[in-house]
A and B are shown apart, each in its own frame.
Chain A
């Protein structure tokens, strides 16, 4: 047996393995994930191809794709995968890595939505719809969308004018500061 003393460079594939406990080599590219993905028609690259890009070492192409951000996390792929590869978890890891590495994702409003959502929780401990909508609209300057449903919700008393706040502010503050990416 020959000894393995090649210099191993830590790759994105290794990062993903550390985050998800699964090796991308499991995927045999049958495409069942893409076939069942509800958001497939909106993606620039099919989900199975994101795995393929990582398998082959085309990391930049995978990380800057909009596909991981369009993934709705519904787990249909993970449930049906013949190789029991948890693709939903894989997509979480790809998104996290894209943020950590500061990869610029094309025209992505979804990232701004997640930021706005988490900002509400950071501030109040819970989500507050009016705050979320306001912040998201300011970030994206997408002012016209949803003008139709907001008044409806107001009339029906579904939108709270004042956020519900968690009393233990310190613990929420700690959660966010201690989990923040350096």
Chain B
């Protein structure tokens, strides 16, 4: 076997601490090495040409490149090798930058280490097998999980490009948190006015299958070939028969039985309800926990008034399976609530703000409902306790966020903006009202964002105080807010009529469960992880699963929409070809050695190991062995490390290759 060795200086990056000419020289005489050269930028055009020329000139069989991490330029060098007629899997990279020059100071010992790294790569490449890429078919349908603004946008983009979409939403209506907002920053346009047309478009779209009040139960398969099981929760109302006339709702005797969660518990709703007037679909749901029929078998008023006979108390949850090629996760966020939490929770709640016992201490979404024309106060500013107009409101930012002790250390990102909006909306309606904002920093990066905050201060007279509030207490219907103006160095005490807490955006309660169902990683806060923080912010690390909106980290509307369109584009890229090419670095089983213990099946994080029956010529099963589904296998090697009989191997990283590398040291 003839091997070529190419050592890259990476400008100064490697060259500064590794003596590259010495490395090239040292490898020249190693067995199998035909040629060994160094160059300032091996990834450049002249560098690549150098590799191609040498392959052709010296009739090389394999090459080793000592350069940066294979994450960066493995593709480049493989392409060069293929152009010169070598199988791409006969290219090995010795990482001389991240693993060597960047982490060492001493030139002599760094150079010695670089030589060792290259020698190891040479020993491996000698044993490498030429591999061919795997091809898998693509189902050109998309599952979108979550029907908030991100899910709606992603679904519309994919559908408008000509592909079918299944949109799953766990609530009875799509719309998400955006449908609860009054106005949006920095333009102050009405949230529902801009959102509802898109909700209707989703409902009417011929290529979108909308499944509300439904949840994803199981995801099987792999990129291009997912098999998804969806639980359609029982509405107790036949969706095909219901016309959405709403008679059942107005006649339901349980008028104020349950808190209205769309109104953030500031109002009540009956047992049969639609979350809000513009709900899509406009089909009610019967809440079993409060409906009298489920309590004592009596009532049935809704049955009597429904002319379409759409009420069905016996309806059960049903399971639906869908085949899709791509999944867009757009499950959004939840808001931090300040009530007392169990001791084992990372969230502690705020005792100094009353653990939620004060009625007029509300959170951001509650304030949105109070400010909203469609809300419980019809857009008039009235405080929850006594319905009086608050003349003095204190807004407190960073509650639960940037707070290691009671919540999370991350910045919730949107609160500075929405607090400025809240204060502004209030001042626009209550001209003699006073608004105070306690903040730590004002983070208003974005187009027209800082201008918006300045407007609140300069034009609307909102008073900003830099400092965290230590305590809220109640006295004679006023809320005493104790803070410190850290700029003036003065203690501040404000007797407010109402307090609005800009509480943190946090991951959905079941975020980690759903992540495990789909098989995508999440961070310590429960937000879903992107494949690369800079260059692959839309993709999850699982092929074919893309992220959109606040399920990845706190985001505002424009960012969520942009990310949703990007996720749609990623799905469309997938649908651009009929077959998918995959790296052949997958596990394979030596069936004659396999004892059928299936430890590999238990440990495989991707569910790629299946049971295969070996049959004799009469069709009688004589042995069960493990079988690796190459479509699912991500090449992590957990099975190879676990197998007691050493009968699973990873292509491109088999035992012989790895041992040879170690032995070279």
Interfacial residues, chain A to chain B (CB-CB below 8 A): 1-3, 28-37, 40-41, 45-46, 48-49, 76, 80-84
Q: Which residues of B sit under 8 angstroms from A81, Cβ to Cβ? A: 405
- Residue of chain A at shortest CB distance from B102: A1
Q: Is the CB of B352 within 8 A of A31?
A: no
Is B265 in the interface zone, CB < 8 Å from A? no
User: In the complex the two chains form, is A82's CB within 8 Å of B406's CB?
Assistant: yes
Q: Looking at chain A's contact residues, is the secondary structure mostly helix, strand, loop, or mixed? A: loop
Q: Which residue of A lies closest to B400 (CB)?
A: A82
Q: Is B471 an interface residue (CB 8 A)?
A: yes
Contact, CB under 8 Å: A35 / B402: no
B470 x A76 contact (CB < 8 A): yes
Say which one of B5-13, B210-218, B479-487 lies at the interface with A: B479-487
Contact residues of B between 407 and 465, Cβ < 8 Å to A: 440
Which residues on the B side are within 8 Å of A80 (C-beta)?
Answer: 352, 405, 470
What is the CA–CA distance of A29 and B491 in the complex, to the nearest angstrom?
A: 14
Question: Which residues of chain B have a CB within 8 Å of any CB of chain A?
Answer: 102-103, 105, 352, 398, 402-406, 440, 466-471, 482-486, 489, 491-492
B491 lies within 8 A of A30 (CB) = no
Q: Across the interface, do B404 and A49 meet the contact criterion of CB distance under 8 Å?
A: no
Q: Are B484 and A82 in contact (CB under 8 A)?
A: no
A-side contacts of B103, CB under 8 Å: 1
Q: How far is the CA of A37 from the CA of B491 in the complex (A)?
A: 9
Question: Are B483 and A35 in contact (CB-based, < 8 A)?
Answer: yes
Q: Are the C-beta atoms of A30 and B404 separated by less than 8 Å?
A: no
Contact partners of B485 in chain A: CB under 8 A = 31
Are A35 and B405 also in contact (CB < 8 A) when A1-B105, A28-B440, A40-B491 are? no
Q: Are B405 and A31 in contact (CB under 8 A)?
A: no
The residue on B at minimum CB distance from A79 is B352
- Nearest-neighbour CB distance to chain A for B106, whole angstroms, equals 10
Task: Provide 8 A-B residue pairs closer than 8 Å at the C-beta atoms, listed in order of the A residue.
Answer: A1-B105, A2-B105, A34-B484, A35-B471, A35-B491, A80-B352, A82-B398, A82-B404
Kindly provide the distance from the CB of B409 to the nearest chain A CB, expressed in whole angstroms: 9
Interface centre among A2, A37, A45, A80 (most CB of B within 10 A): A80
A72: min CB distance to chain B, Å: 15
Which residues of A have CB within 8 Å of B402?
Answer: 28, 82
Within the assembled complex, what's the spacing in Å between the Cα atoms of A31 and B438? 11
Give bound CA distance, A37 to B467, whole Å.
14
B406 in contact with A35 (CB, 8 Å): no
Please state if B105 and A35 are interface contacts (CB–CB under 8 Å): no
Chain B residues whose CB sits within 8 angstroms of the CB of A32 once the complex forms:
467-470, 484
CB contact under 8 A between A35 and B467, given known A46-B489, A48-B486:
yes
| A35: B residues at CB distance < 8 A | 467-471, 482-484, 491-492
Q: Which residues of A contact B102 (CB under 8 A)?
A: 1
Known: A1-B103, A36-B482, A48-B484. A30 touches B467 (CB 8 A): yes
Alpha-carbon gap, A85 to B37, bound state (A): 56
